[in-house]
Amino acid sequence: MPQEATELVLLCEDPDAPGTTFLHWLVTGIDPGTTGAAEGQKPQGGRPWPNGFGRVGWGGPMPPPGHGPHRYFFRLYALSEPLPLHGHPGVEDVHRALKGRELASGTLVGTYQR
């Protein structure tokens, strides 16, 4: 973890969703000293945002039946300053806001289909 990190941001997106990349989860303001979160709990200091379903918090995988496997990118970013987000940001808004603030990041990719 970079010492100069002021916050962590957790993002989960599905680039295989019909039409556009779908936002499943966005949490900002996570304490950089956080080492984990209990199941069902938000990370320490974190602020959950509305997902693509219009609900605040985690929106689980829900690809259309028969659409094939979808990839779910879980990304954790260490930032030099807080993200300037407001309202109901979409994936593109988040990526634009990350530019110039990212100190380090990591990605985990999972797949799911039904």
- The residue with greater pLDDT, 44 or 88, is 88
Does 44 score more than 90 pLDDT? no
Does 45 score more than 90 pLDDT? no
> Average pLDDT over the chain, rounded to whole?
94
Instruction: Please provide the size of the chain in residues.
Output: 114
* 66-71 average pLDDT score: 96
Share of the chain above pLDDT 90, in %: 87
What is the structure's pLDDT at 57?
92
